Amino acid sequence: MVRRVLALTSGRIAVAVLAVIALLAVLGPALAPQDPLATGDSPLAGFSAGHWLGTDHLGRDVFSRLLDGSRVSVLGSLEVALTALVVGVVPGILSVYLGRAFEWITLRVVDTLVALPFLLFAVAVIALLGNGITQAMLVTGVLVSPLFYRVSRAATLVVARSPYVEAALVSGASVGWIVRHHVWAKVLPPIAVALAQTIGTGFVIVSSLTFLGIGVQPPEPTWGGLLASDLGYLDQRPWAPLLPALLITVTVWACNLLADAIRDVSGEAGRALADERRAGRRRSEPTPAGGTR
Amino acid sequence: MTTGSPTDSPAGTPAGGPVPPADVPGRAPAVPVLAVTGLDVHHGRRRRRRPVLHGVSLTVAPGETLGLIGETGSGKTTLARAVLGLVRPSAGSITLAGEEVSTHGARQWRALRRRGIVQYVFQDPLRSLDPDLTVERSLAEPLLVGGVPRAEAATRIRAVLARVRLEEDLLGRVPGELSGGQRQRAAVARALVTEPRLVILDEPVSALDSAHRVQILRILKELRAAGVALLFISHDLGSVAGSADRIAVLHRGELVESGTARDVITRPRHPYTRLLVGSAPTLRGAPADRAARDALRALLPA
């Protein structure tokens, strides 16, 4: 599937953008030219050789703060997506196989989770457990998990009722065998789409919380926090909020672009595309004589 | 092979106790590969519960081909699914190779299926083969599930390919890259790979053109000669007539007639069978005239 995603221009662009963002998260703090927390004596300065993107209202280097703040945003969004993945996918698949009681209970739990506003819930958790992005993102991940539950359940239901699964059953295959050999490959593409989307949603959630000053203790830099602080000085540096806003927007856009690319190359349409390419390759190869079709 | 077995009883006839096996004169009675007695199957639950099969009894002796015919919705596929344990019967008994299976739980069914004594060829070969798996992996599945080592599975797959006249280079392809006839032969190969004693074929030729149809029917004849019992399900009397030793006719969930293929085709007793025989197109002329068919249809229960 990776090869098929990379065969699309949109897939290549999305992967390239997300790779840069991931590199920023890993190497950003090390690459920061100055201490992101160190205040200077030239607040709200413009672009210069010393401060490539200027300084904020306390004279801190904006470029260093953007690089340093990338890790919190990336880790937070990944935490949301991976928590949702683990909490949602496993019961989603098993709800088709483990009988009516398990199905009913998990469906009602999912209905309940959908009814809870996750941003408010994350704020409430931080209020209860103290200011920390990790616990807030874990709770948000659980509240976002119904998406994964529904996606994996729907894909499993389609596969479970297909004749090839019945053929496997008639051969004596166990549920574990069927999930490993038939269900998993079909459920994976929609889950990958949901995962890419949720990482984007995670970015928005982390940015929203840090914009409100929740989850990260100042003066720790975050993209949302930078956006919020820059908004207070629009008359002196009107362009300043554009930088963190652009980073957040491009990252979320790349996540959605990747989700679209995965959807384009998976399922029936993706299979038809792959079959067509394979048939094209075969046509270009010399065919051995005596084939019976 | 036995013909004219009296054990397939039309609905309404008493079917008390187990069905005696088909007899071969001068030999001990052979245990039927499949014996169905007084089978009732319902679909739906509570107020939506409706009967699909009622009082169906039939047997298939070792090496015998039983043709099961009936129109769409008559319960043919449900009967096959009940025999395979995919549908739970409401009443009656099903015996596979002497083992009573109608009361089996999931674990007992799994153990029985892994022995590979009964296999099923689905109606739609494209959908019965996993679109993402190569033909080789699909064919290997019944063997690997049954605990056969990979090397032996590969040998057995190649042996069965020759039986269904498929080339080895197709093993690396996915079903989407095969023609309709190749897919159906791959589906038959999958059913044969465990060397079953009974193969249930659900409309195996109805989606094929006449050239591929002949090819599949020839393979089925060879299987019959090799001693594999077949339950050949079809709505088309023409494709069953040349392959079956006996024919059973299913109408609205009830077995209305059974007998040797020759008897059922030349001397149909039930109005529905007469309708089926009269409706079969022939190359020599038109099927029975419309007035005769309408008169027969009027005789059938609503």
User: Does residue A126 lie in a domain region?
Assistant: yes
pLDDT for res B55: 93
Domain of residue A166: give its range: 2-24+58-270
- A173-180 average pLDDT score: 91
Q: Contact A171/B114, CB-based, under 8 Å?
A: yes
- Which tens digit of pLDDT belongs to each residue from B34-58? 999 999 999 988 888 888 999 999 9
Range of weakest confidence among A10-14, A73-77, A263-267: A263-267
- Which tens digit of pLDDT belongs to each residue from A205-240? 889 888 888 888 778 888 888 888 888 888 888 888
- Residues B33 and B77: their CA atoms lie apart, in Å, by 18
Report chain A's mean pLDDT, rounded to a whole number. 86
CATH number of the domain to which A251 belongs: 1.10.3720.10
Pairing between β-strand B99-100 and β-strand B91-96 as defined by DSSP bridges: antiparallel
Q: Contact B146/A166, CB-based, under 8 Å?
A: no
- Contacts A173 to B, Cβ<8 Å: 141, 145
Q: Contact B141/A170, CB-based, under 8 Å?
A: no
- Residues A205 and B153: their CA atoms lie apart, in Å, by 52
Of B114, B138, B179, the CB nearest to A172: B114
Of A164, A170, A293, the CB nearest to B119: A170
User: Does residue A39 lie in a domain region?
Assistant: no
Question: Which of A43-47, A75-79, B273-277: highest mean pLDDT?
Answer: A75-79
> Which of B61, B172, B72, B193 minimizes the C-alpha distance to B121?
B193
User: Does residue A43 lie in a domain region?
Assistant: no
> Which of B32, B53, B38 minimizes the C-alpha distance to B96?
B32
- Residue indicated by tokens 């039986």: B163
> Which of B109, B41, B269 minimizes the C-alpha distance to A170?
B109
pLDDT for res A246: 93
- Which tens digit of pLDDT belongs to each residue from B52-80? 999 999 999 998 999 999 888 889 999 99
Residues ≥6 apart with Cβ < 8 Å to B81: B87
Q: Contact A163/B131, CB-based, under 8 Å?
A: no
Tokens of A143: 């509240």
- Contacts A172 to B, Cβ<8 Å: 110-116, 142, 145-146
- The beta strand positions in B174-292, using DSSP E, are 198-202, 229-234, 246-251, 254-260
Taking CA–CA distances from B166, the nearest residue in chain A reads A292
Taking CA–CA distances from B119, the nearest residue in chain A reads A170
User: Does residue A283 lie in a domain region?
Assistant: no
ipTM over 0.90: no
Q: Looking at the 3D structure of chain A, how many domains does it have?
A: 1
> If you count them, how many residues does chain A have?
293
User: Does residue A281 lie in a domain region?
Assistant: no
Residue B116 near chain A (CB below 8 Å): yes
pTM: 0.72
- Contacts A177 to B, Cβ<8 Å: 145
pLDDT for res B18: 37
- B95-123 average pLDDT score: 91
Burial label, A230 (beta-carbon count in 10 A; 0-12, 13-18, 19+): buried
pLDDT band per the 50, 70, 90 thresholds, residue A267: low
Q: Which CATH number fits domain B1-20+31-117+196-206+222-268: 3.90.420.10, 3.90.1150.110, 3.20.20.70, 3.40.50.300?
A: 3.40.50.300
Q: How many CB pairs under 8 A join A and B?
A: 76
pLDDT band per the 50, 70, 90 thresholds, residue B6: very low
- For residue B297, pLDDT over 70 is answered with no
User: Does residue A279 lie in a domain region?
Assistant: no
Domain boundaries, chain B: 1-20+31-117+196-206+222-268
Residue A217 near chain B (CB below 8 Å): no
Q: CA distances (Å), A66 to each of A25, A218, A243, B221, B237, in order?
A: 10, 14, 9, 76, 77
- Contacts A180 to B, Cβ<8 Å: none
Helix (H, G, I), strand (E, B) or coil at B146: coil
Pairing between β-strand B229-234 and β-strand B246-251 as defined by DSSP bridges: unpaired
User: Does residue A78 lie in a domain region?
Assistant: yes
- B237-246 average pLDDT score: 85
Interface test with B, best of A170, A179, A277 (most B CBs within 10 A): A170
- A50-55 average pLDDT score: 82
